[in-house]
A and B are shown apart, each in its own frame.
Chain A
Amino acid sequence: MPDPSSPLPGPGQGGADKPVHIAAMAHGETATGPSGADTVGKPRSLWSDAWHDLRRRPVFLLASALIAFLVVVAIAPGLFTGSDPTFCDLSRSNQTPSASAPFGYNKQGCDIYARVLYGARPSIAVGILVSLGAVLVGGTIGALAGFYGGVVDSVLSRFADVFFAIPLLLGGIVFLSVFPDRNLWTVVAALVVLGWPQLTRIMRGAVISVRDADFVTAARALGASNRRILLRHILPNALAPVIVIATINLGIYIVVEATLSFLGIGLPPTTVSWGGDISSAQSSLRTAPHVLMFPAAALSLTVLSFIMLGDAVRDALDPRLR
């Protein structure tokens, strides 16, 4: 493991060390795109450095391609299939894959290929919405706790501890088992309520680690308001670990949603979803294992993509972990 403070050799590093990037960032250098990244002598920001590094990683490219494809499927599943996932014909119950239905038919005689495609939408939507919600709620609370410290920190952190004490799946079960009618939004709400404290802890730690940096003192000396210091100087430098964890968690939220649907308290049975389909395939596992395998494979591949993406982004943003 290379010493983090020493200049790192190799094409992805450019010879400049990390604090320079952070300082450059803090002074408002644009962080988007690879443009200018190869200019000699000009220090790259943390983000463009990470991007420069990521473009060369096969794992990142593979995961991004898979996720891009999944998002397209989630938005427009009709592009890939002409059949209706809710049209079922019992006469073709549990038929194995054939030319007309590449994944075969399930117990009710519905086209599994169409159901797998249409099932992407709720899973991806839950993953993205819960991640966004948890970053917004958890990130805001964590940033305030880390920035102000003292009593504000104590109160907010103890508050987060309470939510943190309840495991995601158990809390989700309690929360959702009492809702009379469940839909996508109740599942999202339950997971955000239980998922935000983890991001609060990470954001708080990251904010504390840059709160006393020289560029913050400099901004304060120049008369910047607390609000400006927090939003313009501290947040851009504290966001990296939060983004990494949020990406990895996106996959985990998808698993929890599928698990809840599998237990019968996630998405309503009328929604075409992977968790629900896996659950109903259980009864014919002995005679027709393909009914279970296809939605299960789609679910696992989706989760794997997000975890790989998160791992790659973490490696790029934090060279110390290499």
Chain B
Amino acid sequence: MGRYVLRRLLQMIPVFIGATLLIFLMVRALPGDPVAGLFGERAADPAVVAQLREEYGLDEPLWKQYLLYMQGILTLDFGQTFSGREVTDVLAQAFPVTVRLALVAFAFEIVIGIAVGLVAGLRRGTVFDGTVLAATLVVISIPIFVIGFVMQFIVGIKLGILSPTVSAQAPWKDLLLPGVVLGSLSVAYVMRLTRTAVAENLRADYVRTATAKGLPRQRVVTVHLLRNSLIPVVTFLGYDLGALMGGAIVTERIFNVPGVGFTIVRAIGLRESVTVVSFVTILVIVYLLANLIVDLLYAVLDPRIRYA
């Protein structure tokens, strides 16, 4: 176990360095000038440009810029946005909102996804199962922003059940609708994964043994069948928590949720590439860490991985 953890941690280092280098190179080595974008249609004052370039270290050679950028990541100092606020301040304000949004989506995925997937798997081949399969395929095909608009229109505007936009403090009640939209794609995958695993394990020897022992069906399903079927689902959910943070970009834009994604979209609109890069870097780090935690958890859950 210890060796597996150590190996996994060591593997993480080159990927981390490589991924940050890649993001850095994409932004700095490409033709666009991050400072020129600030001025929009107006002609830039050379003195201001020179000052800004110096301030953001853009006049240094590329390798030195990368070191500065890495230093910033490691010391959690991401510098300032072009409007003069500390990136970490903006982040401290926006990040909790996105985390709460992702949690709503996550709860929706777990409760609805596993419940529906379990029933579909137990009744494989029935009308219910067929409906679930068709419905999930349709949901997977519809881009999340279309689902977002349709839900916003029907639930928020036509029916008026939930608020179509989120207010500044982002209370839990307002996050319900965007959370469901954010989780809609993953809930389809959770349903399909659970369904397949349950339908497959239903024929496993241990299920037959449990039934032969005379255990009530409810106990066979919940304790024996579901527990074993959830291993692939747990893996997916773990990776998904990281992916949800990134997926929130679109949902937050639709529902005006004041989170990380909303900030990124606004920074893109203002052509603040420095802010965009800082935020995306943080999201990629969160994503990598989530993957790492899942891999470690998975080794705890499944001994076959640990000794492989």
Contact = CB atoms under 8 A, between A and B. Distances in A.
Contact of A166 (B22, B33, B140, B141): B22
Contacts of A161: 11, 14-15, 18
A1 B283 CA distance: 41
Contacts of A159: 18
B145 A303 contact: no
A170 B246 contact: yes
B149 A292 contact: yes
A43 to B, nearest CB: 30
Interface string B181-210: 000000000000000000010000000000
Contact of A178 (B19, B21, B34, B143): B34
B249 interface: yes
B141 A304 contact: yes
Interface residues of A, number: 42
Given A162-B19, A264-B269, A299-B146, A177 B288 contact: no
Interface stretch (B46-54, B220-228, B273-281): B273-281
Nearest to B242: A167
A259 B283 contact: no
Contacts of A173: 249, 264, 268, 276, 280
Interface residues of B, number: 53
A162 B11 CA distance: 11
Given A162-B18, A174-B280, A263-B250, A255 B143 contact: yes
Contacts of A292: 146, 149
Interface of B: 11, 14-16, 18-19, 21-23, 26-27, 30-34, 36-37, 137-138, 140-146, 149-150, 152-153, 157, 200, 243, 246-247, 249-250, 253-254, 264-265, 268-269, 271, 273, 276-277, 280, 283-284, 287-288
21 contacts: A161-B18, A165-B15, A166-B19, A167-B246, A170-B284, A173-B249, A175-B26, A175-B30, A180-B31, A259-B250, A262-B145, A262-B250, A263-B265, A265-B268, A278-B145, A282-B254, A285-B153, A299-B146, A300-B146, A301-B141, A307-B140
